Amino acid sequence: MSLRPSLLCAGDQVAVVAPAGRVELQRVSPALDLLRSWGLEVLTGPTVGSRYFQFSADDDTRFADLRFALEHPSVKAVFCARGGYGLVRLLPRLQALAGTLTPRWVVGYSDITALHSLINCTYGWQSVHGPMPAGFEPGPEHAQSWELLRQMLFSGQASCLVPPHPLNRFGSASGVLTGGNLSVLHGLTGTPFFPSVKPRILFLEEVGEAMYHVDRMMLNLKLSGVLSGLSGLIVGGMTDMKDDASVFGKDACAIIREHVEEYDYPVIFGFPAGHDALNRPLLMGAECSLEVGQSGVVLSFP
């Protein structure tokens, strides 16, 4: 049974760090103001606003900043400022911290998938696949995403209803929710950091990938036995996907549906989480149940 960090309350201290790609302080300032409006005391790590080529800082600095946030006794939640690339470079050193840390919320998505996998499977905590400060923009869907995040962190509200999708496969399932960005998971296959808990309900989302590469990554998951071992599959946003001049012939959802056709577990498409304006937070590493029917989908957490 994984550990669920304590809910937040007004007056709690939280940290914002950039453990992967670089991000300007002014880009995250609106989200920092929002966190303060929730009554939180916000610490900003030195990686926020700094720059080292495409990264926010060198590996040592990014590790030290994230470690500080994970170890500080007063920090109740760690918000990753953005994704990008770079978290995977820190995994061996982060793995060595297992057993020495007190559970706290870690929030992020995209490249932060690697951190969720480590936290869920090695630290034994639950975490939140959800919106990040660098992606905060005006508009009702962004506002809804952050309000849902606030409700999850302060009130524990995680269950949701999702409209039906024509590619859905009906059924019921239960298991531990794992996964995240397809490209990051593809890069973790065959390593100790791939989420290996069972039974599991796998969540996948992606952005900006070519169709043939989606096919390649799904084949990787299939040939490595990941897809056959699931109890359910949730497909989130497949955002700004592209095709090349030769034309693959199927979109991302059709490719994924093809590669799970032989299995009998429920599959849902179009879950509102990923690189879209509406990025519904998900409780990763937590036991959940999935009910997929003609009228829609119920995802619930005990």
Where would I find the beta strands (DSSP E) of 39-119? 41-44, 75-80, 105-108
The reported pLDDT for the residue numbered 245 is 77
Domain 13-155: state its class.
alpha beta
β-strand partners of 205: 181
Q: Which of 117, 145, 205, 206 is catalytic?
A: 205
Domain spans of the chain, in order of start = 13-155, 160-300
Known catalytic residue: 205? yes
First-last CA distance in the chain: 12
Q: What is the per-residue burial (b if ≥16 Cβ within 10 Å, else e) of 188-203?
A: beeeebbbeeeebbbb
Q: Which two tokens mark 51?
A: 């720059």
Contact between 210 and 245 under an 8 Å Cβ cutoff? The reply is: no
The reported pLDDT for the residue numbered 244 is 80
The reported pLDDT for the residue numbered 197 is 82
Chain centroid to CA 17: 16
The reported pLDDT for the residue numbered 229 is 95
Q: Which of 116, 186, 213, 275 is catalytic?
A: 275
Task: Record the pTM.
Answer: 0.97
Q: Which of 2, 50, 56, 110 is catalytic?
A: 110
Query: DSSP secondary-structure letter at 280?
Result: -
The reported pLDDT for the residue numbered 124 is 96
The reported pLDDT for the residue numbered 246 is 81
Known catalytic residue: 6? no
Which amino acid, 256?
A: I
For residue 141, give the H/E element and its range: helix 140-155
**Along the chain (302 residues), what's the average pLDDT of each consecutive run of 10 residues?**
94 98 97 98 98 98 98 98 98 97 98 98 97 96 98 97 97 98 97 91 98 98 96 98 90 98 98 98 98 98 90
**Euclidean distance between CA atoms 83 and 105, whole angstroms:** 17
Omega before residue 199 within 30° of 0, cis: yes
Residue range 160-300 in CATH 3.50.30.60? yes
